[in-house]
Amino acid sequence: MKFEELDLHDDVLDALWDMHFEDCTPIQEQAIPVLLEGRDLIGVAQTGTGKTAAYLLPVLDKLATCDLRKDAIHCIIMAPTRELAQQIDQQMQGFSYYMDNVSSVPIYGGGDGVAFEQQKRGLTMGADVVIATPGRLLAHLSLGYVDLSKVSFFILDEADRMLDMGFYDDIMQIVSFLPKYRQTIMFSATMPEKIQLLANKILDEPVEVKIAVSKPADKIIQAAYICHEPQKLGIILSLFNDSKPERVIIFASKKIKVKELANALKKKGLNADAMHSDLEQMQRDDVMYRFKAGKIDILVATDILSRGIDVDDIRLVINYDVPYDCEDYVHRVGRTARANNDGLAITFVNDDQQTEFKKIEDFIGKDIYKIPVPIELGETPAYHPKKKARHSVSKKTFKRKKTSK
């Protein structure tokens, strides 16, 4: 479907034309008509499917066609991280280019007092669209000068990540400031039970749109080392014996492991740094800037970097640990082979993670090539993942539940 076939305002279509947006992605084709009707929606779609436009374009259409107060907040978009909030704001600026009367303000932490005052000014004067992380929006709400009583649209982007990061109570507290009658939109990469429970509480008879999780791009060469845990560092060092590492991301499951591995690589003379949630926002921004600028060769990170970070020329992704979730594997390895580039993704699989890795192989529908561990690192375990009994999961339906003031 072409965007011009949708019933969108001319100013929105003009911006799309200038941005060379012609064809809708599947999530856009299915979600936009539903949202233009004013229905609540829960969309299950991974990063890179065009979900941001799927909710921004209908909201902008409503803002262009409805007679709304100019001094009020009309739309709240919640994002789990500052980086994602910034990206949403950038797309907002592009899509609303011809809409002079539409304003937006990003609200996130990590800045100084001047940034906080700028955010306060935007909130008190009334911005049509507020793009916020939960903690920083609550900080402003707690000071009593933010009025959310005129909000018509409440959007949760990457809702599963927000719940994983412990934002459930923050979200429900923000919901308590919203009007009873509103359009609520939730997007999530996965649909665990906790997302269904949240949807039951804050959405009203939502339409569900689900886009199947795509498999890793064909251009990604996928491989694995079956190894013992102590052999992992040696494997990394062997990979870079003959060639200098460039544009490498190593994902580890825990912050402590990220810190230890980054320090170990530095001691071995490699240009590495760490990215994790213990860093202050200014530190995180500095690390990302230096990595994008090529001043850092290896970035060791938690899953904070697996979604929503737009770096197109990653040469190698290493999963130091097998991801807990198959879809997390797809997100991680999807950091490479972007923008028509080739890429390599390697996963380290120890004894305890073989069954989880086999689930990933089943999920993507292929056996991943196992690279022999360098002989000087010693003997390695055989690959014999244990089979676990599968349990059927019944489909759950959404019950109509009144939203609370």
pLDDT in tens, 28-63: 999 999 999 999 999 988 766 788 999 999 999 999
CA 311, 317, 320, 325: dihedral to nearest 10 degrees? 80
Domain boundaries, the chain: 3-210, 220-377
Integer Cα distance of 376 and 250 in angstroms: 23
**Comparing 3-210 with 220-377, is the CATH topology the same?**
yes
What pLDDT score does 400 carry? Answer: 40
Q: What is the pTM of this model?
A: 0.67
Integer Cα distance of 364 and 311 in angstroms: 23
Nearest of 135, 203, 206, 208 to residue 168 by alpha carbon: 135
Residue 144 clears pLDDT 70, i.e. is over it = yes
Integer Cα distance of 80 and 162 in angstroms: 5
- Report which residue type is found at 371: I
Residue 397 clears pLDDT 60, i.e. is over it = no
Structure tokens at 341: 């580039």
Integer Cα distance of 339 and 334 in angstroms: 11
What pLDDT score does 402 carry? Answer: 41
Structure tokens at 15: 């911006």
What pLDDT score does 340 carry? Answer: 59
SS (H, E, C) 69-136: CCCCCCEEEECCCHHHHHHHHHHHHHHCCCCCCCCEEEECCCCCHHHHHHHHHHHHHCCCEEEECHHH
Q: Can you give the length of the chain in residues?
A: 405
- Report which residue type is found at 154: F
Task: Work out the end-to-end distance of the chain between its first and last CA atoms, rounded to an integer number of angstroms.
Answer: 38
Q: What is the mean pLDDT of residues 77-90?
A: 90
Integer Cα distance of 90 and 265 in angstroms: 35
Residue 159: strand, helix, or coil: helix
Q: Which CATH superfamily is domain 220-377 in?
A: P-loop containing nucleotide triphosphate hydrolases (3.40.50.300)
What pLDDT score does 214 carry? Answer: 67
- Report which residue type is found at 83: E
Integer Cα distance of 275 and 263 in angstroms: 12
Residue 405 clears pLDDT 60, i.e. is over it = no
- Report which residue type is found at 232: K
Asked if residue 53 lies in contact with residue 35, where contact means CB atoms within 8 angstroms, the answer is no
* CA dihedral sign of residues 160, 162, 166, 172: negative
Structure tokens at 133: 């992380």
The domain 3-210 is placed in CATH, from the list 1.10.10.10, 3.40.50.2000, 2.60.120.260, 3.40.50.300, at: 3.40.50.300
Residue 53: strand, helix, or coil: helix
Q: What is the mean pLDDT of residues 183-212?
A: 90
What pLDDT score does 390 carry? Answer: 39
Q: Is 85 exposed, middle or buried (0-12, 13-18, 19+ CB in 10 A)?
A: buried
Specify the range with the lowest mean pLDDT, choosing from 29-38, 106-115, 144-153, 368-377. 106-115
What pLDDT score does 396 carry? Answer: 38
Beta bridge partners of 23: 2
